[in-house]
Structure 1
Amino acid sequence: MHHPALVAVESRVNPAECKSMAEVRQGVDALDRALVALLAERQRYMDAAARIKPDRDAVHDDARIEDVVAKVLASAEQQHLSPLIAEPVWRLLIDRCIAYEFSVYDRTRS
């Protein structure tokens, strides 16, 4: 079963078969919509983490950050995604998710 965010992506033209910028843009737009849906789901996991973690000090975990980045880089290599894209994108994503989780933690504990 496919993730709902990926269903629209499957109908796009394969990048190697694009013959126009319109096809390229349609593919990128479909991927962007899927990425937004996946990031929204990831955010819901941050909501769960904020609810589950026993104290505010548990929100930022350097070891977990490095573990996530290492896993992403391994996956990126398998998928032929440049580490020059993957690492900074995920480090920023993690940073913003931690900030979001802090805000949820503080809002739900006050």
Structure 2
Amino acid sequence: MTENRVKPADCTTMAEVRHGVDRLDEEIAARLAERFRYMEAAARIKPDRDAVRDERRKAEVIAKVKATAAREGGPAARIALLYDALVESSIAYEFERFDERSG
């Protein structure tokens, strides 16, 4: 999926930038779909609805992502904000799947 992608520092045209972003978006969407499949598994495995929201786990996930972003030279605070929204959406999705299973 990453063939012919110019590294950001080597881009000289907006076409190269857009191509790189588009390729990354494809990869990110595929990984997000996989992440949500794990939420389906969590909804199947967790014994009760109260177990779906785990604030300690949410904080742990965001802290790990923030550290990774900082290590990779990214804007860690902004990436943490994105992950907060992702985790909240994941929790909502897990509730939906749990309720379908239980209801």
TM-score in same-fold range (> 0.5):
yes
In the alignment, what sits opposite 2:33? 40
Distance 2:73 2:11 in 1: 19
Same amino acid, percent of matched pairs: 50
Give the counterpart letter for 2:30 in structure 1.
Answer: A
How far 1:27 moved relative to its partner?
A: 0.3
CA displacement at 1:109 relative to structure 2: 1.1
- Give RMSD over aligned pairs: 0.9
Q: Matched residues in 1 for 2:93 and 2:2: separation?
A: 28
1:11-33, Cα deviation, whole Å (9 max, x unpaired): 30111111110110000000000
Q: Decide which of 60, 66, 73 is 2:66's aligned counterpart.
A: 73
TM-score (normalised: structure 2)? 0.96
Which runs of 5 or more structure 1 residues have no equivalent in the other structure?
Answer: 1-7
> CA offset at residue 9 of structure 1?
2.3
Give the TM-score taking structure 1 as reference length: 0.90
Q: Please give the secondary structure, in 2, of the residue aligned with 1:31.
A: helix
1:10 CA drift (Å): 4.7
How many Å separate the matches in 1 of 2:2 and 2:87? 24
Deviations 1:72-106 (A, max 9, x none): 11111111111232111000000000000000000
Question: Can you give the 5+ residue segments of structure 2 that lack an aligned partner in the other structure?
Answer: none
Please report how far the alpha carbon of residue 42 of structure 1 lies from its aligned counterpart in structure 2 after TM superposition: 0.2
Aligned mates of 1:10, 1:26 — CA distance in 2: 11
